[in-house]
């Protein structure tokens, strides 16, 4: 029986209706919505009942949603926190990256991955998404030194992961000339420098005009997002790097205009981002999930790398700066969830032919488990810290550079 929907308008309607139902059901259960959209895409896509095909609607809108995911990741980094806590930020960011990327790279080589695929697996595992951060904000713990170190370290960790992505997926001509591997990184650095200098100034002029309407300001943010994504693709790297850069360059401008920021994020989260997660789900094969040991053994290995790596980074960084044991565990739990950034790297690597369907399926399993366990552990530790009276009081642990 052919269930495929041919009308693009109906396809959009089905995806949006699915997104609404997932939001309502999983929101009440306290589960991450992205997991429901992934499962829905798998069940309704070619790997399931084949009701909603990737083309001509889902994949193009999903690709824009992918850019929005990385754009939002850049927006959510509190640059003031990074500036105030450089030492713990840098140390934790480097440890979080090294303790996960290096072991993942070594394990991937032992499993027979190619060097480029192994590098990208390391980049994928090293990144993380602060899924549980809103819980800590509600508990009044966002100003704790360990939490601020995690927030700042996320910027460094995700940036390093994306630099690896740029190195591996550079332009083809870079392979034919000496030190060609460095060309995309140099070009990306020049583009980043120009964007970090120019975009905030353009934003001040465009967004600061009293006569500018909300639509004009929102369109400006969209133009910056798509413009930098296009620019990074033009220099031979990936659009998600430009999207992340766009979020960083507009970070402070939108932070000063909360209503505009909410408007821009609403557009992405209510429309484009659901298409990204649904589209990713259409790439998954239900039959592959049922294979043993295939996907599940790889997922268990990746999960172990995440838990041990992120936990070690939090423990060692916390020990250096005198954080309590509970605070060190909190740092590991907060950075364990693998979500949007991880999935973005996985899909990009899959599109480049470096990741198989089995690897992507294993990554989705890791995302599912870490997004369930990480927030639960974070909430439990956070409540204990808040109960101890440390949530709204002076931060514990040594201040950066302090005695």
Nearest to 239 by CA among 166, 159, 174: 166
Which CATH number do you get for residue 112? 1.20.1530.20
Asked if residue 138 belongs to a domain, the reply is yes
For residues 288 and 241, which has the higher predicted lDDT (pLDDT)?
241
Task: Please determine, for residue 284, whether its predicted confidence score (pLDDT) is greater than 90.
Answer: no
Asked if residue 181 belongs to a domain, the reply is yes
Q: What is the pLDDT of residue 3?
A: 75
Task: Give the model's confidence band at 174: pLDDT under 50 very low, under 70 low, under 90 confident, else very high.
Answer: low
Asked if residue 29 belongs to a domain, the reply is no
Angle at 100 between CA 164 and CA 382, to 5 degrees: 120
First-last CA distance in the chain:
71
Q: Quickly tell me which residue has 């999960």 as its tokens.
A: 303
Asked if residue 2 belongs to a domain, the reply is no
Q: Are 263 and 218 in contact (CB under 8 A)?
A: yes
**Average confidence (pLDDT) over 3-16:** 89
Task: Please determine, for residue 403, whether its predicted confidence score (pLDDT) is greater than 70.
Answer: no
Asked if residue 209 belongs to a domain, the reply is yes
* DSSP 8-state code for residue 208: S
Q: Quick: pLDDT tens for 62-75.
A: 889 888 888 887 88
Task: Give the model's confidence band at 262: pLDDT under 50 very low, under 70 low, under 90 confident, else very high.
Answer: confident
Q: What is the pLDDT of residue 280?
A: 82
State how far the Cα of 32 lies from the Cα of 274, in Å rounded to an integer: 12
State how far the Cα of 270 lies from the Cα of 260, in Å rounded to an integer: 15
State how far the Cα of 121 lies from the Cα of 133, in Å rounded to an integer: 25
Worst-scoring range by mean pLDDT, 174-188, 199-213, 255-269, 348-362? Answer: 174-188
Q: Which domain holds residue 236?
A: 62-279+287-387
Asked if residue 16 belongs to a domain, the reply is no
Q: What is the pLDDT of residue 402?
A: 36
Task: Give the model's confidence band at 178: pLDDT under 50 very low, under 70 low, under 90 confident, else very high.
Answer: low
Q: Quick: pLDDT tens for 120-153.
A: 999 989 988 887 887 787 788 877 889 888 988 8
Task: Please determine, for residue 171, whether its predicted confidence score (pLDDT) is greater than 70.
Answer: no
Asked if residue 100 belongs to a domain, the reply is yes
State how far the Cα of 319 lies from the Cα of 231, in Å rounded to an integer: 42
Q: What is the pLDDT of residue 73?
A: 78
Asked if residue 403 belongs to a domain, the reply is no
Q: What is the pLDDT of residue 177?
A: 63
For the chain, the domain total comes to 1
Worst-scoring range by mean pLDDT, 262-271, 279-288, 345-354, 376-385? Answer: 279-288
State how far the Cα of 210 lies from the Cα of 283, in Å rounded to an integer: 46
User: What does the chain come to in residues?
Assistant: 403
Q: Which residues contact 148 (CB under 8 A, 6 or more apart)?
A: 81, 84, 85, 88, 89, 142
Task: Give the model's confidence band at 114: pLDDT under 50 very low, under 70 low, under 90 confident, else very high.
Answer: very high
* DSSP 8-state code for residue 268: I
**Average confidence (pLDDT) over 168-181:** 63
For residues 367 and 194, which has the higher predicted lDDT (pLDDT)?
194
**Average confidence (pLDDT) over 92-113:** 94
């Amino acid at each position: 029986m052919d269930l495929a929907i041919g009308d693009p308008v109906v396809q959009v309607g089905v995806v949006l209706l699915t997104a609404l139902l997932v939001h309502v059901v999983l929101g009440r259960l306290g589960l991450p919505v992205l997991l429901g959209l992934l499962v829905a895409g798998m069940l309704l896509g070619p790997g399931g009942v084949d009701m909603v095909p990737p083309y001509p609607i889902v994949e193009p809108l999903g690709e824009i949603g992918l850019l929005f995911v990385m754009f939002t990741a850049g927006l959510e980094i509190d640059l003031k926190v990074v500036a105030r806590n450089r030492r713990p930020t840098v140390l934790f960011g480097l440890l979080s990256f090294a303790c996960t990327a290096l072991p993942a790279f070594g394990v991937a080589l032992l499993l027979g991955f190619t060097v480029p695929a192994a590098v990208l697996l390391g980049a994928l595992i090293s990144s993380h998404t602060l899924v549980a951060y809103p819980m800590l904000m509600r508990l009044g713990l966002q100003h704790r030194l360990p939490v601020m170190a995690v927030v700042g370290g996320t910027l460094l960790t995700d940036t390093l992961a994306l630099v690896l992505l740029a190195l591996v997926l550079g332009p083809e001509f870079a392979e034919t000339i000496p030190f060609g591997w460095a060309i995309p990184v140099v070009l990306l650095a020049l583009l980043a420098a120009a964007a970090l200098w120019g975009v905030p100034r353009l934003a001040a002029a465009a967004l600061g005009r009293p006569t500018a309407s909300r639509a004009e300001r929102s369109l400006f943010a969209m133009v910056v997002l798509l413009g930098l994504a296009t620019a990074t693709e033009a220099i031979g790297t990936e659009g998600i790097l430009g999207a992340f850069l766009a979020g960083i360059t507009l970070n402070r401008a939108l932070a000063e205009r909360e209503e505009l920021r909410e408007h821009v994020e609403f557009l992405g989260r209510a429309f484009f981002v659901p298409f990204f997660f649904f589209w990713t789900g259409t790439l998954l094969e239900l039959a592959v999930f049922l294979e043993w040991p295939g996907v599940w053994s790889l997922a268990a290995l990746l999960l172990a790398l995440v838990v041990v790596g992120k936990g070690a980074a939090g423990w060692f960084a916390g020990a250096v700066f005198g954080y309590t044991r509970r605070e060190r565990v909190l740092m590991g739990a907060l950075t364990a969830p693998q979500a949007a950034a991880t999935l973005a790297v996985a899909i990009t690597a899959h599109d480049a032919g470096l990741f198989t369907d089995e690897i992507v399926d294993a990554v989705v399993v890791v995302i599912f488990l870490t997004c369930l366990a990480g927030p639960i552990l974070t909430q439990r530790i956070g409540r204990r810290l808040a109960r101890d009276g440390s949530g709204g009081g002076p931060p514990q642990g040594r201040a950066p550079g302090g005695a």
